[in-house]
Structure 1
Amino acid sequence: MVEKEVLITFENGLHARPAAELVKLAKAFHSTIVLDNGKKKVNVKSVLSMMSSSIKQGETVRVKVEGDDEEEAMLSIVNFLKK
């Protein structure tokens, strides 16, 4: 398992469009991918989980990735969240 903290910089947080894009990106990997904001753990491959996460701009989340392609998945997810 690999973990990394990331600051959310999207202007409106992880609202509908970036959340849907993140789910699409995450589904390309076999690994389990979770965002943990300290209050809630969110399955990144679930549109419903992402939409209900209420992750806002300026919030720090811990990205947790576990699986056979975890390093590649972590790099892609972190790069997406930092744009």
Structure 2
Amino acid sequence: MAEQTMKITAADGVHARPATALVQVAGKYQSDVNIEYNGKSVNMKSIMGVMSLGIPNGAEVTFKAEGSDETEAVEAVIAKAKEEGLGE
């Protein structure tokens, strides 16, 4: 299992536009990709799941993947999150 934690620094937190971009990236991978926040874990290939977490500015989230391309999946999601200005 590959995982990486990120602090959300975007003023609006994880809202619809960047969440959609992250879901699109996660969908390109075979691995199961999840995001964890506040004790809950959801499938990153589901926009409704990601939005249901209501991730605010200042939150610590963990991206996890398990499968044949898990490392690449986590790296790609983190890269997209940074590109979207969600965190560092």
- Whether these two folds match at TM > 0.5 is yes
> Which aligned pairs between 1:7-46 and structure 2 lie closer than 5 A?
7-46=7-46
User: 2:73 aligned with 1:77, yes or no?
Assistant: no
In structure 2, runs of 5+ residues without a counterpart are 84-88
**1:72 alignment partner, SS class:** helix
- Tell me whether 1:62 sits opposite 2:62 in the alignment: yes
Kindly state the Cα deviation for residue 74 of structure 1 after the two structures are TM-superposed: 1.0
Q: Report sequence identity in percent.
A: 39
Consecutive unaligned residues of structure 1, counting only runs of 5 or more, are none
Matched length: 83
TM-score, scaled to structure 2 = 0.85
Match of 2:3 in 1: 3
The one-letter amino acid paired with 1:19 is A
Moved over 3 A (4+): none
